[in-house]
Amino acid sequence: EVQLVESGGGLVQPGGSLRLSCVHSGLSSSSYWMSWVRQAPGKGLEWVAIIKQDGSDIHYAASVKGRFTISRDNAKNSVYLQMSSLRVEDTAVYFCAGGDGWTSSDWGQGTLVTVSS
């Protein structure tokens, strides 16, 4: 069974930075892509970024490109989301997700990021 556990959320001021982590276990596929997806309070789901198993292919949503960086450390079974120049509108629950290909079959419980002064 695949398990994903996020951490690193919290309160940060506008313009600040935060790094989210996601530790995964139980993966059996060698082609497992990892994503970050967020949901702002009272809003729908928004895809943020995705990274290939070996880190060789990365894509971002336009709303975060240039401010967020997704990375992974396979030796630590971890995926990260480095968030910089944070805005109030980045406030959301951030989910780590993964699957074979770009569809996310496995999800963490999420971590809350609040950007406020």
Taking the least distance from each CB to another protein, the nearer of 61 and 77 is: 61
**C-alpha closest to that of 1 among 19, 27, 23, 40:** 27
In this structure, what token pair is assigned to residue 20?
A: 């989210």
**C-alpha closest to that of 96 among 19, 12, 17:** 19
**Rounded distance between C-alpha atoms, residue 75 and residue 17, angstroms:** 25
Residue 32 near another protein by CB under 8 A = no
* Of the candidate residues 12, 110, 113, 115, the single one contacting another protein (CB under 8 A): 110
Taking the least distance from each CB to another protein, the nearer of 62 and 75 is: 62
* Residues 61-80 within binding reach of another protein (CB under 8 A): 61-62
**Rounded distance between C-alpha atoms, residue 26 and residue 48, angstroms:** 24
Please say whether the dihedral angle defined by the alpha carbons of residues 57, 88, 38 and 79, taken in this order, is positive or negative.
positive
Strand order through the sheet with 78-83? 3-7, 18-25, 78-83, 68-73
CB of 47 to another protein, least distance (A): 4
Residue 60 near another protein by CB under 8 A = yes
Residue 112 near another protein by CB under 8 A = no
Stretch that binds another protein, among 12-20, 21-29, 74-82, 100-108 (CB under 8 A): 100-108
Residues that bind another protein (CB under 8 A): 35, 37, 39, 44-47, 50, 59-62, 95, 97, 99, 101-105, 107-110
